[in-house]
Amino acid sequence: MYPFPYNDILNLRYPNREIETAFPDKILREAQFAPFAALTGYEEAVSETARVTEQKMIPDESQLEALNRKLQFLKQHLSHTPMVRVTHFVKDPKKEGGTYRIQILPIKKISETEKALLFLDGSKIYLHNISDLQSDIFPESE
Residue 128 sits in a domain whose CATH number is 2.30.30
Domain assignment of residue 128, given as a range: 61-134
> What is the tally of structural domains in the chain?
1
Residue 23 within any structural domain of the chain: no
Q: How confident is the model at residue 103, as a pLDDT?
A: 96
Which residues, in sequence order, are bridge partners of residue 102? 87
> For residue 92, is pLDDT > 90?
yes
What single string gives the DSSP state of each residue in 13-46? PPS-HHHHHH--SHHHHHHTTS---SSTTHHHHH
Residue 73 within any structural domain of the chain: yes
Question: Span 71-77, mean pLDDT?
Answer: 92
Question: Span 8-35, mean pLDDT?
Answer: 68
pTM above 0.75, yes or no: no
